Structure 1
């Protein structure tokens, strides 16, 4: 990157026009020539431009600089948030930054926010600032940028986009040298995202590869995360014994580290096994234990368990308990737009618990359009037949046939996008 590109980068990042940057320093045409690499500015003009931009334009040792950010990433990978905070604050304290330093800082600040706070506030803006200058996103920086973009999409519940970014990041592994733990983390994120997309074969492949790396590096908590994903996939194909076996291996790690949150995840998935076996009472007990263990975690980390418990109360005709659970959490769910899907699920079940029948108008006008717009065939395959049965009971056979047909199409679409769920 030549000097002019650096100046243009920081001018755009700081939202300055050429006129605003050049004022009192040089002419606008001269600044344009500098930015396009046609001419080199004098030392004096360079110093004035750098001062107005409040940056450092001279080159620094990029390898030394990037290693500091990799050290921060390693602490995040290890879930050592105290160490990560100290390293991040030290990096943020530097008053002057080169272009590369500025890019790396914004990328890793994004990763830091998402991996410590499990949120995306401010991340879109940070990544947008570095993405509009395409020619600076090369080499190792491209890998971390794509990883951050994948994380952002994942935390925004856009799993298709996340999967796309993670696979692009994987291609960077071929051309550049990365540490094994970095490769393992990316493979884990690909497996995790494939799991969310119900792409079971892909999830198994990538998660198994990540597990192998984590085991070689003796990072047992990451191993437990992989075991949970493997358990979920085996559960989907009704391989209950192998699913339970993976969870028992994860539980050994949870017991060793006295990890309540991991215990909560394990109990949730043991509850899922009970659900699939039709053991509703056992499922309710396990989901309830999961919520107790996850008491101190964010809503996003326990909302799946709440929803699973609601469905079990519906199956067992425990309307009062179902209503109580929904009323406890519905307002919190409604405060976050990312939980809109769960809000609709809860509103559907609230009406069902309260009146003993579905609200067909709500389903047709609000619930179905939301999931249809997002192509969430898994949920549509559940809700379409419910409406089909509802209209069939009312002897409205044309409408019933319509929704049964949509249910068939939803199952077909699941198959076409690689969803294997039985």
Structure 2
């Protein structure tokens, strides 16, 4: 990394203004020229600036730093122990700021990914904002990861159009870079996922098939299974059910080969939803029940299956089994003091709980004041259709036809949004 941008990065990191860094050494206008590579400063000036910043100019350890960075970058893209990722980060962070390393910019860009992996969304956004001032100096490789990780952030905040724009900018850099096939396939996969989120089904299929071709060649069965799941979802949406089932069963087989419980149960959730869509409740219930008692699987996946199972039992009027699953779901949610993380499932389970117990006042308050506004905020049109219809039928039952018409209309408008997407 050139010394000017390196100084600028350290100054920004330390929240120091140009005037504060330049005072007594050079004018802040001259410092600006150094930082933006518009002039070449003398070694003495560079040394004074670095001393004020508390950094050393020593390239002897750069190869070691580069190797350690690459190991850490790889950890951010695979399932790894978060404690080890954090430990490696702290070690690298200390090392990086003791030396002038060519790896610094890439390390700073990967911090965005790191904060996302450990669930620190606010820190990830802060890092994006810190780097934005530097982004004009990024080379093609830096830009590729910069756009990709900004896409990751937007995706996790449900800003899928913005995520797709960032991913496409990253994709445009590929013809300027000599990246591994795996890195290319990964950007193709995340583009496929984002198209899927936006209901761009044909585009999702196109990119998923590109990615899976590479993952097959590398015998990367976990990534292949992820692609099969994505393809299964896409073919289900266009009602090519046989193709969808084929892809889901391939994903299930690969998950079992790798003894990956998370992947197996994600596929069971997808199969359950597919059979529910086809009206085959018995098959749907079988797949959902595979998930709900599996303690090796993340709680969010189990709660998703519980919510789906309750809806399925309710749909076939098996209220006794629905109540059993509701009680189990309530017990699981009550273990956690912070309900925000599982708010969607909290609302789903309580909706059916109040409905089956004929607690009409609580049902109306939950849906009108909490659940439906939550779904609108998250633009979850599919669930708005379900729960606006549920509320409309509730009002219709009590001959409140004006209120019923209002929520039927809301369900229809949400359905039109899905059609547009």
**TM-score bin, normalised by smaller chain:** 0.7 to 0.9
Cα deviation 1:91-144 (Å, max 9, x = unaligned): 5444435486332112224334545x5764733333332223231233111111
What does residue 131 of structure 2 align with? Answer: 130
Match runs of 1:8-407 below 5 Å: 8-23=8-23, 25-26=25-26, 28=28, 31=31, 34-35=34-35, 40-56=40-56, 69=69, 72-74=72-74, 76-77=76-77, 79=79, 85=85, 91-92=92-93, 93-98=95-100, 101-112=103-114, 114=116, 117=118, 120=121, 122-293=123-294, 295-315=295-315, 316-318=318-320, 319-331=322-334, 335=338, 337-355=340-358, 357=360, 359-407=363-411
Please report how far the alpha carbon of residue 327 of structure 1 lies from its aligned counterpart in structure 2 after TM superposition. 1.1
Cα deviation 1:346-395 (Å, max 9, x = unaligned): 33233223336572233222222222233221121222222332333333
CA separation of 1:322 and 1:413: change in aligned 2, threshold 3 A: same
Please report how far the alpha carbon of residue 252 of structure 1 lies from its aligned counterpart in structure 2 after TM superposition. 2.5
Please report how far the alpha carbon of residue 210 of structure 1 lies from its aligned counterpart in structure 2 after TM superposition. 0.8
CA separation of 1:253 and 1:235: change in aligned 2, threshold 3 A: same
Aligned counterparts of 1:63 and 1:200: Cα–Cα separation in 2: 44
Q: CA RMSD in A?
A: 3.5
What does residue 420 of structure 2 align with? Answer: 416
Report if aligned partners of 2:323, 2:353 keep a CA contact under 8 Å in 1. no
- Residue aligned with 1:213, SS: helix
CA separation of 1:193 and 1:306: change in aligned 2, threshold 3 A: farther
Aligned counterparts of 2:151 and 2:60: Cα–Cα separation in 1: 29
CA separation of 1:396 and 1:412: change in aligned 2, threshold 3 A: same
Higher mean displacement: 199-208 or 248-257: 248-257
Cα deviation 1:141-165 (Å, max 9, x = unaligned): 1111121122223333443433332
> Which ranges in structure 1 are unaligned for 5 or more consecutive residues?
418-422
- Residue aligned with 1:229, SS: helix
Question: What number of residue pairs does the alignment pair up?
Answer: 414
Q: Which has the higher contact order (CA 8 A, sep 6+)?
A: 1
- Residue aligned with 1:122, SS: helix
Aligned counterparts of 1:99 and 1:341: Cα–Cα separation in 2: 45
> Which ranges in structure 2 are unaligned for 5 or more consecutive residues?
none
- Residue aligned with 2:199, SS: coil
- Residue aligned with 1:296, SS: coil
Aligned counterparts of 1:64 and 1:165: Cα–Cα separation in 2: 32
